[in-house]
Structure 1
Amino acid sequence: MQLHYRDLGQGTPFVILHGLFGLSDNWQTLAKFWSQKYHVYLVDLRNHGRSPHSNEFSYDLMVEDLAEFIIEHQLQNPVIMGHSMGGKVAMNFALSYPAQVSKLIVVDIAPRPYPVHHQDIIDGLNAIDISKMTSRNEAEAALRPYIPEAETRLFLLKNLYRREDNSFGWRMNLAAIEACIEEVGRETTSDTPFIKPTLFIKGEKSRYIQEKDLPAIQQLFPQAQVETVANAGHWVHAEAPEKFYQLVVDFIK
């Protein structure tokens, strides 16, 4: 599958993967700063952003999509970073194609399995009848009973766009994501560890990476270091961008 992407800058290739319900746009602000040092590739994963839609949605497929992307663009020894679901893709890719990765950065996700916990979001998105909607305000109003946090609503509604006929559409393939939602929490496993430099970044207020996860992280990624960003939650890169930026730059150097 040919993935949609944006690229900025020159130098060491640095591939960034968004999380569930996200898209490459989420990373543009930080990417502008990193592009002063690296060649940044912001990739839309399948069924997200402007990448193609498919009824098939799994980590195995997203890993193969990324492998095709790296070959197509002739990326040599890229740094790969992923947030949440994108972090799972990055982990699985590094374990499957270690020769294609120079360094790995995983943002606020661990290798362990996660139970399905996105039902409120899916119900809220399904409550938006985009065929009858005339404004974004209407969409946000329909979403509000399911998602009380304004920042989360705005994050989700970045997927909304106007078609040429002025009607609204979704960038993401909501039906495929809903049908395969259990896949998103799948455990990351491998018989062979990834032995290159790895950085896990967690938000202090987030529960996605816990003390109990450290043995599995060290088993799969023996060179891993774990950094905690104070006063940040799951969207650590958005909540503490300056600290996050510096952690990434220091690690790549």
Structure 2
Amino acid sequence: MRIISWKKEFQLSAPLQRHFSSAKFTTPQTDRIQPIQMAYSSYELTSIPSISPLIIMHGLLGSKSNWRSLSKSLHAQTCRRVVAVDARNHGESPHNENHSYRYMAEDLRALLTLLEIDRAVLLGHSMGGRAMMLTALLYPNLVKGLIVVDTSPIRTSESINLVDSFLEAMRKIELPPKVPILIAKNIADRQLSTVVKDIATRQFLLTNLLETEEGDCKWRVNLDVLQRYLVKQVANFPLVTNVYNGPTLFIKGALSDYIKDSDAEEIKRIFPNAEFERVEGAGHSIHSDQPSKFVQIVSSFLKKLT
């Protein structure tokens, strides 16, 4: 297996910029979106089998690095090329003043064009799951199958209300200049602990703290933009009239309230061929809580897609 990574701090050239599709929205939209070129890591064999690649997008405040071991496992289990991406304003991808699922869908379409991928299986967790859902609804001809991890197009968990306080706490972190990254993380952890009580959550947030070439430490996520768009964009799935009829799998954590059993009927109106898997002992981050079971479920679904 070889791993190919790409990152660069500028937007796509004009030939790869994309116009809006003619999909019907219930809210006004602009006429044009300029996508960014997302950073990505591609896990692939020297000779790629002629099957659709799997594209993975993380959740809010996550990154492709969170999916490194899972990407390797899924590649090994299915012999399928796996491409893990950093969403805009996250990880190594460019920061941008716009952050919505419509923009993320265009970023994904631009990436498929850049990588010369005709059709792909899309997998997304939380925010990434919603971006993948919208991409499938707008561009079904590009999507071989869809895997949605613990998020719904119907409703949003009440725990989203905590995220704004997390973002605000991260913005208020004060770090002395030129401190090593480990010391910076200890300082940030102590300051975050007054707001973010759960140790695992703090550790996850601190994966976004990095050391610059100048020796200072900073957040790699665009906190200002993410906080600005949290309520009006990230917390709400766009209202569309489209339907995606392709193979679809929703994976729910038994300890999470992001997908409720009562959502199933309404979800199937939008995704008629949706299947549902429930993972016991897992919360919202199913892939972290039960990684072996997660890989098993995803691999089984992928193997049904030719």
Output the TM-score relative to the length of structure 2. 0.80
Give the gaps of 5 or more residues in structure 1. Answer: none
Question: Contact conserved, 1:190 with 1:220, CA < 8 A, in 2?
Answer: no
Q: Which residue of 1 aligns with 2:41?
A: 6
Q: Which residue of 1 aligns with 2:164?
A: 119
| DSSP 3-state at the match of 2:244 | coil
Counterparts of 1:245 and 1:188, CA distance in 2: 29
Residues 58-79 of structure 1 show CA distances to partners (whole Å, capped at 9, x for unaligned) of 1111111110001110113211
Superposed displacement of residue 132, structure 1: 4.7
Counterparts of 1:120 and 1:62, CA distance in 2: 24
| DSSP 3-state at the match of 1:75 | coil
Question: Contact conserved, 2:129 with 2:151, CA < 8 A, in 1?
Answer: yes
Superposed displacement of residue 127, structure 1: 2.5
| AA partner of residue 3 (structure 1) | M
| AA partner of residue 127 (structure 1) | K
Superposed displacement of residue 131, structure 1: 5.4
Superposed displacement of residue 34, structure 1: 1.4
| DSSP 3-state at the match of 1:180 | helix
Q: Which residue of 2 aligns with 1:83?
A: 125
Residues 189-222 of structure 1 show CA distances to partners (whole Å, capped at 9, x for unaligned) of 3322100000000000000000221122100000
Counterparts of 2:255 and 2:155, CA distance in 1: 20
Counterparts of 1:64 and 1:187, CA distance in 2: 15
Q: Which residue of 2 aligns with 1:202?
A: 252
1:25 is aligned, of 65, 72, 95, to 65
Counterparts of 1:87 and 1:133, CA distance in 2: 37
Q: Which residue of 1 aligns with 2:15?
A: none
Superposed displacement of residue 119, structure 1: 2.1
Output the TM-score relative to the length of structure 1. 0.96
| 2:99 corresponds to 1:99 | no
Counterparts of 2:295 and 2:72, CA distance in 1: 11
Deviates more, 1:108-117 or 1:33-42: 108-117
| AA partner of residue 243 (structure 2) | P
Question: Contact conserved, 2:100 with 2:234, CA < 8 A, in 1?
Answer: yes
Paired residues, what number? 253
Q: Which residue of 1 aligns with 2:229?
A: 180
Give the gaps of 5 or more residues in structure 2. Answer: 1-35
Structure 1 segments of 4 or more deviating over 4 A? none
Counterparts of 1:156 and 1:32, CA distance in 2: 23
Q: Which residue of 2 aligns with 1:146?
A: 195
The root-mean-square deviation of aligned C-alpha atoms, in Å, is: 1.4
Residues 91-110 of structure 1 show CA distances to partners (whole Å, capped at 9, x for unaligned) of 00000000000000000000
Counterparts of 1:119 and 1:186, CA distance in 2: 14
Bigger Cα Rg: 2
Counterparts of 2:102 and 2:90, CA distance in 1: 16
Question: Contact conserved, 1:13 with 1:76, CA < 8 A, in 2?
Answer: no
Q: Which residue of 2 aligns with 1:48?
A: 90
Superposed displacement of residue 169, structure 1: 1.4
